[in-house]
Amino acid sequence: MRLPLNQRIAILLHEGTTGTQGKTGLAILRYSEAPIVAVIDKVTAGRSLPELTGIKRDVPIVESVTAALAYKPEVLVIGIAPKGGAVPDDYWVEIKDALEAGMSLVNGLHTPLATMAELNAILKPGQLIWDVRKEPPNIEVASGMARTLPCRRVLTVGTDMAIGKMSTSLELHWAAKLRGWRSKFIATGQTGLMLEGDGIALDAVRVDFAAGAVEQIVMRYGKNYEILQIEGQGSLLHPGSTATLPLIRGSQPTQLVLVHRAGQTHNRNNPHVPIPPLTKVIQMYESVASAGGAFGKVPVVGIALNTAHLDEFAAQEAIAQTTAETGLACTDPVRFGAGLLLDAVMRSEV
């Protein structure tokens, strides 16, 4: 499944429009082609979405599902990604109001909703509940077979969670397509799945089979495309992250792009964990990816710098400083396009 392009969508985003947990809803607003008619956020209701987020999409922000009904939405998308992935207490009323109003529901949280009898009792013919985070069928333990593919496999890796790995992969994908390359975006999280329609929800896969699930989808598409843009998850620097290593092993990347938030010095949710200098982070990722030569050399070819919190002058300064520090191509691909990073990918040998 994917977000329906022929149905009107409302995004449930309480405290997420300007907070730290709204990445799913904000990414859908930025990248989806679906008609989005309302954002639901009681904190920012009545304010301008473009002014608050920089996203050039003039969608009204309202305080509740009830208020959103004036815009005739047909699908409600839960747009937050909170720690642990549970449904917040104040979201239950909104979910039930949406279902009672005849809307379908797209749920990217860990809490499964499609099997809840209480919610199914509300559904009318034609209404659906799509739980995005599901383990794919028929997965096996990875074997490193992705190394046999002729395509470039570009994996985004990060210094933290929720800093722009998916956005970087999407921007690289679109830049490659504009240049005529046969590129495929490989979604590995709930938001990417909503946008792309296929992929894997990696954090719903049992850990023994996580690399195998990645390998399975990479092998499915690798012979038909010149470049696979593989959406990164988590970070090797995050004490709670288990997704990054299976992505590296399962996809057997040919290049890595490191994503970092400009100026960030510590893990956002664990301030006792510092982020080392980027040169050290690059060495770490390259060392882990190659496993001492067992899997071959895998270079970090560029830095995607998240500068959303900076004005343009400060953003350009941060990019220049990072370029000087690392010696690698660096830009903010959301703000300035991914062309520079794509150039670095294509210059790198496979």
Domains for the chain: give ranges and CATH numbers.
Answer: 9-131 (3.40.50.720), 145-347 (3.40.50.300)
Q: Backbone phi, then psi, for 108, in 5-degree steps?
A: -100, 10
- The tokens for 299 are 């270079």
CA-wise closest residue to 235 among 195, 291, 200, 275: 275
Say how far apart CA 345 and CA 247 lie, in whole Å.
Answer: 18
For the residues 274-281, what does the mean pLDDT come to? Answer: 98
Beta strands in 65-128 (DSSP E): 75-78, 104-107
Structure confidence at residue 4 as a pLDDT band (50, 70, 90): confident
Given this model, what pLDDT does residue 5 score? 78
Which residues, other chains included, contact 320 with Cβ-Cβ below 8 Å and sequence gap of 6+?
none
Structure confidence at residue 219 as a pLDDT band (50, 70, 90): very high
Structure confidence at residue 86 as a pLDDT band (50, 70, 90): confident
Strand order in the sheet with 75-78: 61-62, 36-40, 9-12, 75-78, 104-107, 129-131
Given this model, what pLDDT does residue 349 score? 80
- The tokens for 349 are 């040998």
Given this model, what pLDDT does residue 333 score? 98
Q: Backbone phi, then psi, for 35, in 5-degree steps?
A: -75, 105
**CA 195 from centroid of its chain's CA atoms:** 10
Pairing outcome for strands 9-12 and 36-40: parallel
The residue type of 98 is: A
Given this model, what pLDDT does residue 327 score? 98
pLDDT above 70: percentage of residues in the chain: 100
The residue type of 221 is: Y
Spell out the alpha helix ranges (H) of 188-311.
Answer: 190-196, 207-222, 244-251, 278-290
Say how far apart CA 192 and CA 217 lie, in whole Å.
Answer: 14
Residue 83 pLDDT greater than 80, yes or no: no
- The tokens for 166 are 């998916």
Q: Is residue 293 helix, strand or coil?
A: helix
Query: Number of H helices and number of E strands within the chain?
Result: 13, 12
Given this model, what pLDDT does residue 350 score? 74
Kindly report, residue by residue over 167-218, the tens digit of the pLDDT: 999 999 999 999 999 999 999 999 999 999 899 999 999 999 999 999 999 9
With beta carbons less than 8 A apart as the criterion, state whether 88 and 80 touch: yes
Between 21 and 14, residue with greater pLDDT:
14
For the residues 86-114, what does the mean pLDDT come to? Answer: 94
Say how far apart CA 223 and CA 95 lie, in whole Å.
Answer: 41
Q: How does the average pLDDT of the chain come out, rounded?
A: 95
The residue type of 293 is: G
Residue 84 pLDDT greater than 80, yes or no: no
**Is 75 exposed, middle or buried, given 0-12, 13-18 or 19+ CB atoms closer than 10 A?**
buried
Given this model, what pLDDT does residue 347 score? 94
For the residues 270-288, what does the mean pLDDT come to? Answer: 98
pLDDT above 90: percentage of residues in the chain: 92
For the residues 299-327, what does the mean pLDDT come to? Answer: 97
Pairing outcome for strands 104-107 and 300-306: unpaired
Q: What share of the chain is helix, strand, coil (3-state, %, to 5)?
A: 35, 15, 45
CA 203, 235, 194, 149 dihedral sign is negative
Given this model, what pLDDT does residue 20 score? 78
CA-wise closest residue to 12 among 97, 94, 101: 94
Given this model, what pLDDT does residue 181 score? 97
For the residues 98-116, what does the mean pLDDT come to? Answer: 95
For the residues 58-84, what does the mean pLDDT come to? Answer: 94
Given this model, what pLDDT does residue 229 score? 98
